[in-house]
């Protein structure tokens, strides 16, 4: 029996994305049901989580199913390397964990977003992809340093709720300053899905904070197919004018991936890269989005985050709904 | 839609307390039901817990609902200060966590009992009250250093089961020695509820271990309204005679809140403040209560804890029942 | 009301084992049901776990019940010693934790496999047995350093599925090298149950890695009653020939229980004790078993673990089924 994973925004065709969004919109108004009664979703979190953890557990509960939560402390160290001679710290191979869990649960979700080496290595998402290869049940990416596709579907759902039509609409993905180097996952995933929807995307960041080139090229291709566009700008003043959606988020430099202190030094001169009322005023009455958690008064001011154009909690709330749709599709069930 | 929190024993009127106790008594004999099917209660524990955690989860299961458990390790650090510039360790503001969780779960319970500064600060219960202010769903206090109202309702239920009528009955709240400075939560909460029930309360502790004066004055007022009384005694010999309920529990000195070593030094001469058979014999055949966990043979001897007048496990068991009643009321559902 | 614990393979009679295996086989084909609706199983893990934790939680979910998971971090330190004066680190006595939990949950499972002292002490399984003595609900051993009976029933179920008849069939329990000193639990438990089934068991290990003598003598007695046998061999070449099941697993030396460095030194010359294709070829087309987690290419090679005679994932999968049977029996419920 073949199985379907959900690891990347790029795993979805436009038709599949539309189906998911439609199903999520229908799920949003529904009362709790039982379509996944007796089904279990294993959640493996190798890093802390609030929205992803709680929204998935609520999604399963509202479908009558159950989440089994495992965190780093519940588990021993796992070996991801094929053919390894396991005489080191790892007690079990990812292969055996994945195959065993596949005999217990109906789907697996995994968050593994820590940096473990150079960017060339981490961009391969070894742990999540190794689980997916060896598991016989669907595997869902709950965020790596490279993608966060569940967040991005909820983001697109939130844009669609507010803009109604999406083709040709202007979205700015804005890099913001932040005391820590953050995952590129949400940015990579929402960039691809916004492109797929045919939006006119402006990716705005300082030099040195380029996104992954493969993701950028793929996004340009997707946008071209769908009647949209992707352009990159490197000065803050070009970022906001015309934007109908301003999506703020910090991300790490892949150039300094191995050297967070160097990145921190570079960022000292980039403190202007943040969202405030003046920047919002220069947009085309944009909705303000951010995937949370957000550093208030660093990434964006209280005034704009709590202002009338902010839809940040709707993004969070829509996580539950898109994940209910996703779980129903992956577990081959009809709608509730 | 307005929402109702449950943060303090003082949040209840006498009529509401009576209703809760009646509903809990009816819930006690019931088989598991489904009145909260599809409902979720988020539990946030910033400190370890056995009774509170398990009794709430069992309560939700027996009502057909579900608990989502988050502990300190599942979460990142949260900022409680309004308008903070979040360039420090905190990844997310309490405001955003509370608003986000309100979009996922139907109620939130929070334990945050650690000391974080001086008594003047900690008595304000900043974290729990900040959650309550920002959450749009009911917030339940699962113990702060100032109150532990769920414990206290279970305690009053246990007294009512054993004494039948409560007005005018003699309760001694007895400070006991303990190697560590303990929360004042259970003492503050049960003092207020016992006063509200019109009991004759004797609060017995050594000098230097006074409870919060606002709580004491409020309790005296409640007792006066209900035909009872609250008196404070500072010698052990006056504590037990006449008591029909002896409620043992240690608590920290608010005077030495910042200086646990000083408190430990003071307590060296207070080792007689404990419950043994001789003390029990000097009561009016009192029931022995303690909210657990108890340091055996320090706070109270094995002989009395395991003796025929001990109702310590009934107190624990009643947690489930009062919390079922509370959850049904807060979530605006009828009885099972 | 009397209650039944499940602490040791030796707690089962042959008739009870047969009943459990039959019930498990029937449970295996069943769809999720509701026979344990409203029932809760408390799981206390003092060490990490993957299979035991997930298979028990799935078992409860598929029976309509619920697991409440507590790990070391959720709890404070517990005192196991009777009559202790609790002025040390422990906040609560095991007795009070067990009695309290008994008022909340319908059964308790406990993993406590860490070494805490000499072998003479650890072989007594003090923590689990103390819980069992004080709890008024059934207590299940989820692995100590001495027994792992749930694993062993799943192992016997897997052998029965593959061999059909078991009496007189040849099983080799093979000690394997490993960088760490491992629990004797799985070995002790499967040895006793295989003996009870009348198998011809060869226990193969280097000198110095003897199993507990009481367990060995009891197993010989059980085998004799059931028409089987237990023999011990200390050279690797005698281990495999004739075997129809080769059960690989490392275990610690009880001689060096207090001195892991000494054990590690001894094991340097024992690296030949592992399973590879040559060893498998010398058996009577044996099935390969291992209770997992397994150190690949140390305990056994990838080739044999992933080969056609390996049934390691079936063992893991059968954990769910035998535990469903066990839970139905302990909670006095009929089959689903």
Kindly report, residue by residue over C243-266, the tens digit of the pLDDT. 999 999 999 999 999 999 999 999
Among A140-154, A219-233, B200-214, C115-129, name the one with the lowest average pLDDT. C115-129
- Report the pLDDT value the prediction gives residue C88, as an integer from 0 to 100: 94
| DSSP run (H or E) holding C141 | strand C139-141
Environment class of residue C136 by beta-carbon count within 10 Å: exposed (0-12), middle (13-18) or buried (19+)?
A: middle
Residues in A closer than 8 angstroms to C302, CB to CB, are 83
Q: What is the pLDDT of residues C80-119, one digit of tens each?
A: 899 999 999 999 999 999 999 999 999 999 999 888 889 9
Closest CA relative to residue C319, chosen from C291, C284, C287, C281: C291
Give the whole-number percent of chain B exceeding pLDDT 90.
Answer: 90
Top-ranked range on mean pLDDT: pick from B70-79, B283-292, C46-55: B283-292
A333 pLDDT above the threshold of 60: no
Alpha helix stretches (DSSP H) within chain B: 14-28, 51-62, 94-104, 119-122, 126-134, 149-163, 185-196, 213-226, 260-267, 277-281, 302-305, 312-330
Question: What predicted TM-score, i.e. pTM, was given to this entire model?
Answer: 0.96
CA within 13 Å, CB half, C237: 0
pLDDT at C176 over 70: yes
Q: Within 10 Å of residue B118's Cβ, how many Cβ atoms?
A: 11
Q: Return the residue in B52, B67, B295 with the most chain C beta carbons within 10 A, the one to mutate for interface testing.
A: B295
Q: What is the mean pLDDT of residues B325-329?
A: 96
Q: In chain C, which residues have their Cβ closer than 8 Å to the Cβ of B311?
A: none
Of A50, A61, A73, Cβ closest to residue B38: A61
> In chain C, which residue's Cα lies nearest the Cα of B61?
C38
For residues B45, B50, B56 and B59, what is the CA-based torsion angle, rounded to 10 degrees? 160
Q: What residues of chain C lie within 8 A of the CB of B53, using their CB?
A: 68, 70, 74
Q: Specify whether the CB–CB gap between C36 and C61 falls below 8 A.
A: no
C139-141 sheet: strands from edge to edge = C66-71, C40-45, C107-111, C139-141
Q: What does the alpha-carbon distance between residue B158 and residue B311 come to, in Å, rounded to a whole number?
A: 8
CB contact under 8 A, A101 and C50: yes
What pLDDT, on a 0 to 100 scale, did the predictor assign at position A75? 79
Between CA A129 and CA A121 the distance in angstroms is: 12
Q: Percent of chain A beyond pLDDT 90?
A: 90
Specify whether the CB–CB gap between A52 and A111 falls below 8 A: yes
pLDDT exceeds 70 at position A334 = no
Question: Is the model's pLDDT at A121 over the cut of 50?
Answer: yes
Q: How far is CA C96 from the centre of its chain?
A: 27
pLDDT at position A315 over 80: yes
Reported confidence tier of residue A302, pLDDT bands at 50, 70, 90: very high
Is residue A84 predicted with pLDDT exceeding 70?
A: yes
pLDDT above 70 covers a percentage of chain C that reads 98
DSSP A233: E
Q: What pLDDT is recorded for position C95?
A: 96
Question: Is the confidence at residue C121, as pLDDT, over 90?
Answer: yes
DSSP letter at A183 equals P
ipTM here: 0.95
Would you state the pLDDT for residue C2? 64
- CB-CB: which of C54, C297, C312 is closest to A68? C54
CA angle centred on B287, ends B281 and B288, rounded to 5°: 85
* Chain B residues lying within 8 Å of C104, measured CB to CB: 54-55, 58, 316-317, 320
Residue of B41, B249, B296 for testing the chain C interface, max C β-carbons within 10 Å:
B296
SS (H, E, C) A32-52: CCCCCCCCEEEEEECCCCCHH
pLDDT at B77 over 90: no
Q: Which among C87, C92, C105 is the nearest to B179, CB-wise?
A: C87
| CA C62, chain centre distance (Å) | 22
Q: What confidence score (pLDDT) does residue C334 get?
A: 41
Whether A274 contacts A299, CB under 8 Å: yes
The H or E element containing residue A231 is strand A229-233
Domains in chain B with CATH codes: 9-147+319-330 (3.40.50.1370), 150-315 (3.40.50.1370)
Tokens of B203: 């609060």
Q: What is the mean pLDDT of residues B94-111?
A: 97
As a whole number of angstroms, the distance between CA A10 and CA A171 comes to 19
* Average pLDDT, integer, range C177-185: 97
Closest approach of chain C CAs to the CA of B106, in angstroms? 20
Which residues share a beta bridge with C173?
Answer: C203, C247
pLDDT category of residue B15 using cuts at 50, 70 and 90: very high
Per-residue pLDDT tens over the stretch C185-209: 999 999 999 999 999 999 999 999 9
pLDDT at C1 over 50: no
Average pLDDT over residues B267-292: 97
Provide the pLDDT confidence category of residue A2 given band limits of 50, 70 and 90: low
Measured CA to CA, the distance from residue A276 to residue A272 in angstroms comes to 10
**Nearest-CB residue to B54 (from C42, C85, C93):** C42
- Per-position DSSP letters for A117-133, written without gaps between them: S-HHHHTT-HHHHHHHH
- How far, in Å, CA of B92 to CA of B74, rounded? 13
Tokens representing residue A135 in the block: 């598991």
The full DSSP string for C8-53 is -GGG--HHHHHHHHHHHHHHHTPPP--TTTT-EEEEEESS--SHHH
Mutate which of B39, B45, B86, B131 to test chain A, going by most A C-beta atoms within 10 A?
B86
DSSP C109: E
List, for residues C283-307, the tens digit of each pLDDT value: 999 999 999 999 999 999 999 999 9
Q: Do A92 and C294 touch (CB under 8 A)?
A: yes
SS3 B153: helix
> Which of A75, A87, A100 minimises the CB distance to C179?
A87
pLDDT above 80 (res B335): no
């Amino acid at each position: 029996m073949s199985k379907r994973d959900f690891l990347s925004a790029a795993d979805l065709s436009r038709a599949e994305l539309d189906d998911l969004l439609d199903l999520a919109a229908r799920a949003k108004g529904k009362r709790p049901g039982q379509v996944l009664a007796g089904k279990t979703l294993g959640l493996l979190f190798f890093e802390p989580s609030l929205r992803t953890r709680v929204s998935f557990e609520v999604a399963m509960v509202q479908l009558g199913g159950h989440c089994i939560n495992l965190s780093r402390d519940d588990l021993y160290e796992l070996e991801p390397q094929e053919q390894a001679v396991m005489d080191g710290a790892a007690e079990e191979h990812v292969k055996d964990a994945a195959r065993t869990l596949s005999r217990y649960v109906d789907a697996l979700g995994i968050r593994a977003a820590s940096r473990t080496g150079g960017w060339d290595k981490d961009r391969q998402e070894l742990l999540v992809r190794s689980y997916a290869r060896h598991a016989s049940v669907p595997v869902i990416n709950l965020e790596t340093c490279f993608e966060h596709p569940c967040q991005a579907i909820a983001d697109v759902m939130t844009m669609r709720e507010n803009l109604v039509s999406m083709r040709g609409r202007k979205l700015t993905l804005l890099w913001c300053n932040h005391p820590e180097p953050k995952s590129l996952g949400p940015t990579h995933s929402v960039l691809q899905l916004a492109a797929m929807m045919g939006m006119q995307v402006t990716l705005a960041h300082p030099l040195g904070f380029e996104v992954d080139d493969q993701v950028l090229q793929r996004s340009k291709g997707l946008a071209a197919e769908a009647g949209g566009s992707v352009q990159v700008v490197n000065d803050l003043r070009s970022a906001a004018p015309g934007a109908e959606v301003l999506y703020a988020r910090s991300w790490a430099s892949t150039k300094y991936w191995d050297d967070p202190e160097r990145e921190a030094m570079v960022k000292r001169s980039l403190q202007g890269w943040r969202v405030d009322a003046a920047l919002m005023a220069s947009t085309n009455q944009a909705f303000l989005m951010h995937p949370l958690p957000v550093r208030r008064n660093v990434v964006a001011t209280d005034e704009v985050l709590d202002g009338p154009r902010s839809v940040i909690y709707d993004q969070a709330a829509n996580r539950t709904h898109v994940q209910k749709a996703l779980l129903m599709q992956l577990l081959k069930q009809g709608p509730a």
